[in-house]
Amino acid sequence: MGARAIALAALWLTACGPKDVATGRSGFRVFGTQLEQGGWVIHHHDDRGDTLWGCPPLADAERCAQILFDAWRPGASVDILSLDPADQSSWVRLRVAGDMDRVFYCVDPTGDPSCRLMELELYPPAGKLERVWPGLHGVDAEGAVLPEDDPRRWYRQPGTDALVLQAGSERLGPSNLYSCQAPQGEQPACTLAVPNWLVFDRQGLGFRKLENVEQKLPTGELFIEPGARIALVSDGSVADRAGLQEGDVIVRIGAFEVRDAGHAQALLAQYPSGHPIELGLKVEGSPGAERILTLTPERKPTAD
């Protein structure tokens, strides 16, 4: 039986919702709210790994379409992290050994299935992405109740359809959070999302406070310019020794232009101690020009 026929057969063999079907060295997970209307199928093979298919309603038994990920390699794993029961749009993770995880927004499994790669503001050492929300009513993905002190209780975003991912690595541990959303009529996106409870810890850079760059318009309204103003520099710190001063405006961190102070905090939170951070500082009177500094967070935070 060909791969497409096998994937379609999985739809016939399973009940509604995600379910495993084993056939020798292959297995399936089928995702869909109503079986006869088709859905997503993950085909697992012990040697080749996982592939993702979009399958049409059972009345249209001619084809299932495979999603061809550019980064797919033999042995890859594919996981559906979240599925919208209304239209079966899904957030999908592709994991390949020795490479960074990728997350995709996938739509229309029963018609013309396609997946869009999400661009993440991700520092390279944080190569693994794990789902931390949805976690309905304080339970994890397996339904186990989370302890009262489990930080995942704080990741919930009631009233939104956001998928929240946490980046990290085995060597460095967890680093940052991303909120993935696909608002009606807008492009799907995954953006840095640092909860209010997360302490702004610069891991020894020597400044712990950033402010928005505000300008007052003639109308009296405040306009926030791109960038983040440094409001505090500790004497003798890494920042102080590099020549950073209070009032300097950070306009770029690594490869990413800084939108505001919150965005700067989220970007900086990804850098573990010992890894250099390249900062682009605004040059007054020279639009578009940057003064470049590279800071390496100390392994022991600077005492203030």
Residues comprising the chain, all counted:
304
| pLDDT (0 to 100) of residue 292 | 94
Residue predicted with more confidence, 9 or 104: 104
- Mean pLDDT of all residues in 158-180: 69
Highest mean pLDDT among 75-84, 185-194, 265-274: 75-84
Answer whether the bond into residue 85 is a cis peptide, omega within 30°: no
Residues 6+ apart with CB under 8 A from 79: 42, 92, 93, 95
Read off the tokens for 199: 């302490």
Whether the per-residue pLDDT at 221 is higher than 90: the answer is no
| pLDDT (0 to 100) of residue 8 | 52
Element at 12 (helix H, strand E): helix 3-13
CA atoms within 13 A on the CB side of 263: 20
| pLDDT (0 to 100) of residue 16 | 37
Whether the per-residue pLDDT at 264 is higher than 80: the answer is yes
- Mean pLDDT of all residues in 160-182: 72
| pLDDT (0 to 100) of residue 1 | 41
Q: Which domains, ranges and CATH numbers included, belong to the chain? A: 1-117 (no CATH), 125-197 (no CATH), 210-295 (2.30.42.10)
Residue predicted with more confidence, 139 or 101: 101
How buried is 222 (Cβ within 10 angstroms: 0-12 exposed, 13-18 middle, 19+ buried)? Answer: exposed
Compute the C-alpha angle 282/288/289, nearest 5°: 60
pLDDT band of 93, cuts 50, 70, 90:
very high
Whether the per-residue pLDDT at 82 is higher than 80: the answer is yes
